[in-house]
Amino acid sequence: MSATCIFCKILRGELPVTTVYEDEFSLAFMDLYPMRPGHVLVIPKEHHVSIQQLSSQMRFHLFELGAAVAKAQTESELQCKSHNFFINDGPEANQHVPHVHLHVLPRTGADLHMALFSFVSRYNNVFGVAKKRRQLAQIAKSIEGHMPKQIMSPLME
Ligand code: DGP
């Protein structure tokens, strides 16, 4: 754990978070600055900056969790057809939070302009954090309802 990392603070319960899945090794939660509605982040509980520092079992686990999140997004009220999976691995690759995270971004088609607009404007607090958190909670409930109880991976054996 890192004292200053935002995601470690979330893991320690020092910052609020809207979770869709948790197990001993990982957490999946709503991105507070979503590029599209339903944008989820998947993180390991261990603090590492780069995927190179993770065990191969952890990488496997995180991608299995990402796939389960995407399936749940598709089955949720979002009714998205496709997804972007991406990891910004290091500061020169636009990583803003130095804790490995897999973005799982639901896409509905004809939404590229909105995704790009959200990417550049999402840190502007236009709607207010309280309203935003209520919206995130509603979408999260819908996604969470379609998540498996537990991800199957070598870490779980
Ligand atoms: P990246 O730019 O790849 O490092 O993505 C970091 C993501 O983390 C970005 O999409 C916004 C999100 N984020 C930043 N701070 C918080 C926070 O306090 N809570 C949540 N849920 N997400 C955050």
Neighbour count for residue 127 (Cβ, 10 Å): 10
Question: What is the per-residue pLDDT across 15-62, written as a single tens digit (0 to 9) for each?
Answer: 999 999 999 999 999 999 999 999 999 999 999 999 999 999 999 999
pLDDT band, very low/low/confident/very high, at 127 (cuts 50, 70, 90) = low
Distance 154 CA to ligand 1 centre (A): 28
Average pLDDT estimate for 129-151: 91
pLDDT computed for residue 109 by the predictor: 86
Average pLDDT estimate for 147-157: 92
Q: Which residues line ligand 1 (CB under 6 A)?
A: 6, 15, 17, 29-33, 41, 88, 94-97
47 is catalytic: no
CATH superfamily for domain 6-156: HIT-like (3.30.428.10)
Residue from 39, 61, 99, 101 carrying the catalytic annotation: 101
pLDDT computed for residue 125 by the predictor: 62
Q: Parse the chain into domains and list their residue ranges.
A: 6-156
Q: How far is CA 40 from CA 53, 68, 84, 92, 100, in A?
A: 22, 11, 11, 22, 13
**In the chain, what percentage of residues exceed pLDDT 70?**
97
Model confidence, pTM? 0.94
Pocket test for ligand 1, best of 9, 20, 97 (most atoms within 8 A of CB): 97
- CA-nearest of 104, 106, 4 to 49 is 4
pLDDT computed for residue 128 by the predictor: 66
